[in-house]
Amino acid sequence: MIPLLVKVFRTGIVSEAPPAPAAEWRERACAMQADILRLLGRALVIRQVDAGSCNGCELEIHALNNPYYNLEGLGIKFAASPRHADMLLVTGPVAKNMEHALRIAYDAMPDPKLVVAVGDCGRDGGIFGAGYATCGGVGKVIPVDVTVPGCPPPPLAILRGILAALETPRR
């Protein structure tokens, strides 16, 4: 136990300040109303769905939970069930073999629901395109609020996309 405590003490707090939201990646006026946001503050529960990615985006989403980005410190956490989630964070070009499961997960989420599509292939199929096995982007299957570009997008970009979905649209 002592080596563990020493390690914790020596490591200290390495968390960094969060980035600015990337409003330019917003795809549509957000579904979440300003008053709900005021009520909930920034607390956000995310259900992540890998809809057939190469797993590169998953590595970077995992990194968001490391102490540098400290996602939970911002009031954002991942849930096991879409029924507990405010946001669906979707990766992959949406493999046809995942199309059905993605729709079920989306339908299971309570309203209002936010969807962030992560990565170039989440945007439009990316390098995999649209074909016999891929739908060609998350937006082909469910409505998308924010799209984060990159292959894969680094953790900060994913975080900026998540935060952009939380901000009410400027009018």
Partner 1 sequence: MTPESTAMRAIPGEVPASTARLGRAQWTDALVDLRETGGRLVALWGSDAGDAMLVSAAIAMGDGLRVVELALGTGEKCPDLCGLFAGASRMQRAASDLVGIEFEGARDTRPWLRHGAWPAGEFPLRRGFDPARERPNPQADYAFVRVEGDGVHEIPVGPIHAGIIEPGHFRFSVVGEKVLRLEERLGYAHKGIERRFQDFSVADGYRLAGRVSGDSAVAFQWAYAQAAESIAGVAPPPRARWLRALMLERERVANHLGDLGALGNDAALAFALSQFMRLKEDWLRLQAEAFGHRLCMDRIVPGGVDADLDDSSKARFVDQAAAIGDEVRSLQVIFDESSSLQDRFITTGRLTPDQARAFGVTGLAGRASGQPFDLRADLPCDPYPELAVRKVVHESGDVATRVKVRFEELYESLRLIAQIARRMPAGPTRIDYPQPPAQALGVGFVEGWRGETFVALRSGEGGTIARCHAHDPSWHAWPAIEHAVIGNIVPDFPLINKSFNLSYSGQDC
- Binding interface with partner 1 (CB under 8 A): 3-4, 7-8, 11, 14, 48-63, 65-68, 78, 80-81, 92-93, 95-101, 105, 127-134, 151-152, 154
CB 119 to partner 1: min, Å:
10
CB 39 to partner 1: min, Å:
27
Q: Which is nearer to partner 1, 48 or 147 (CB)?
A: 48
CB 158 to partner 1: min, Å:
11
Nearest to 126, CA basis, from 148, 97, 154 = 148
Name the 3-class secondary structure at 105: helix
Which residue type sits at 47? R
CB 125 to partner 1: min, Å:
9
Q: Which is nearer to partner 1, 37 or 95 (CB)?
A: 95
Q: Which is nearer to partner 1, 27 or 120 (CB)?
A: 120
CA 148, CA 22: separation in Å to the nearest integer? 9
Paired tokens of 59 = 């590595």
Which residue type sits at 95? A
Q: Which is nearer to partner 1, 30 or 89 (CB)?
A: 89
CB 100 to partner 1: min, Å:
5
Q: In what order do the strands lie in the sheet with 146-148?
A: 76-78, 44-50, 87-91, 114-118, 146-148
Alpha-helical segments (H) within the chain: 2-11, 34-40, 56-64, 96-108, 120-124, 155-166
Q: Which is nearer to partner 1, 140 or 168 (CB)?
A: 140
